[in-house]
Structure 1
């Protein structure tokens, strides 16, 4: 019944982000005083359509990708933290009496969950966390409840376990993003305090938007747009297979016309999508401005994409690099790590769960 979305966990853990197009792993160690060292990371491609809308449809293919990523990581550690897509998790904040014992809280959480979860409770894993004292009532505490269907969790656990790994923590991708953002906040004036920051994680198929005000998440949304559109255009224009197009996109070697005819229009489209997300946020919430944009995901590695987005939106834009102030293990190549960093935000946030 209960599942550890919020378990503080025991170190060390490998952060494993299973996204639509790749398995990404990050291993961190502590250097004391809340600082980290990047021990290793890896990225292994997942075949097309093995994951659709966040659901694993090709378990064997995903498991093979997990196995390869772990091999590339070169770690002995087998304990992992995984994340569910936020769309697969129902969350709700409720108020409870501050003097309730944990077991009484569990009973109340179950009663609350019964009201708002559209599935039978036996099909669901539930966890809860006390956030703190309620703002306007010192006798009450604010409690965050998270629930997900067991099958969604079991699929991801199976993919990891088939690859020989052990799942200790199941997180939610938005929480993992927020954890890694605490490292990125150093790139923002005053570490984002009293400001509104929009994190835009551009994946293969989806743009995940998470807005924080004063470093607390206030808004989460998804937009259908991603790097697959660029891959498909490369395929169409240059007559390549999906796999060849994906490799060419990352490694280069395309005709000269690529930059002007394919990449530039894609960057324009991406900037327009970000501007739309911004407009939608300011027009549908009480917040009438965003102070900084943080780009993450594979598309954030496109050279000068931050400049184009900033020109289009007139909002200060940075590319997320959670490793910027970390020390790196000798086997980690600094230049490559900086390029890959924006795509590793979730995996990094998950790895942080294993470093106390």
Structure 2
């Protein structure tokens, strides 16, 4: 959202883990240079707000040291309550005119004081039924949250160059790796530890987006509460460790309950999309985020929405050395680093 086009580290600071991706560009193609993930303790980041900057700094520093990366420039992103994304209908004007008037135009759509936010926009094109008006994607992010991320990254020894939004980073990763889907739009569904984002794209343009405060942490929390476990043990059980305290059938019931809730939320969002755009179709759902790997989630989404479902591979068209990066590991981890890949595709000087 703010700022030679040199490469940057894509740094995704999530509530569960810190992810780093570095891509090298040559002759229009990208090659994976660095990839790493460091888990964070619980509750150090809550709904996008940094609660324990020292823990996050330590994780970033350790990850950078382990990867031995020399690049200091960073593209990062924010999400959660501090970010508002809305498609709005405005009078036709040039990009320069809108830049001059954006605060005034945005005021009626943003539930924050416009003095407290950074505002950006993307002109999507003319309104279909109103040639004198245009559709604009409006983005507003709380300055204090941006400042917290910038300060944190600087204290970790890096140089923040771009602060983006998760929503756009995912779009960026998709556009770099996938061709247009002929059977309609695509729904990018990103499920993290504490949030789910649903973004419907058609021809590279976002038509609809929705956030929900649900994710993998609710499974860990449920295991903790039902079986009296500490966070670390509950997290290991969720990830596959067997425990005498947790019967397999009870664990499966927790998984099914969470997956059903997530699927219901996705179906509700898609039904709303179809009600808003009755002439449009969604040809595919692509799943990303660490919590999207819940066994059987893709089949459940397919059953409930009647739309083909696949896992989002943000490295589909990105080369990497199989002597450096294990193919199985890359395939497994790819959906979890989708935001980081989208950020790593950014360059210094990008808007």
Question: Scaled by the length of structure 2, what TM-score is found?
Answer: 0.84
CA distance in 1, matches of 2:67, 2:256: 31
- What is the aligned residue count? 342
**Cα contact 2:74–2:162 (8 A) shared by 1:** yes
Match status 1:72 vs 2:72: no
Counterpart-to-counterpart distance in 1, 2:269 and 2:100: 38
RMSD over aligned Cα atoms? 3.1
- Give the counterpart of 2:190 among 191, 201, 216: 201
Quote how far apart the aligned CAs of 1:80 are.
0.4
Verify: 1:318 aligned to 2:306, yes or no. Answer: no
The offset of 1:199, in angstroms, is 1.5
Secondary structure, aligned partner of 1:348 = helix
Q: Which residue of 2 aligns with 1:28?
A: 23
Q: Unaligned stretches of 5+ in structure 1? A: none
Determine if contact 1:95/1:134 at 8 Å carries over to the other structure.
Answer: no
Q: Report the counterpart of residue 254 of structure 1 in structure 2.
A: 242
Q: Is the 8 A contact 1:195 1:214 kept in 2?
A: no
SS at match of 2:178: helix
Distance in structure 2 (CA, Å) of the matches to 1:141 and 1:234: 49
- 1:109 pairs, out of 79, 97, 102, with 102
Question: What is aligned with 1:57?
Answer: 51
Residue 294 of structure 1 deviates from its aligned partner by 0.9
Give the 3-state SS of the residue equivalent to 1:109 in structure 2: helix
Shift of 1:28: 0.9
Change (3 A) 1:47 1:65: same
From 331, 335, 354, give the equivalent of 2:347.
354
Measure, in 2, the Cα distance between the counterparts of 1:55 and 1:314: 36
Is 2:276 the partner of 1:285? yes
Query: Please, which of 92, 97, 114 is the counterpart of residue 93 of structure 2?
Result: 97
1:327 matched to 2:316? The reply is no
Tell me whether 1:274 sits opposite 2:263 in the alignment: yes
Out of 16, 38, 44, which is 2:38 matched to? 44
Which shows bigger deviation, 118-127 or 216-225?
118-127
Q: C-alpha displacement at 1:227, in angstroms?
A: 1.0
Aligned equivalents of 1:84, 1:107: Cα separation in 2: 25
Higher mean alpha-carbon deviation, 175-184 vs 87-96, is at 87-96
How far did residue 344 of structure 1 move? Answer: 0.7
- Please give the TM-score of this superposition, normalised by the length of structure 1: 0.83
Deviations 1:134-156 (A, max 9, x none): 76788887654432221010111
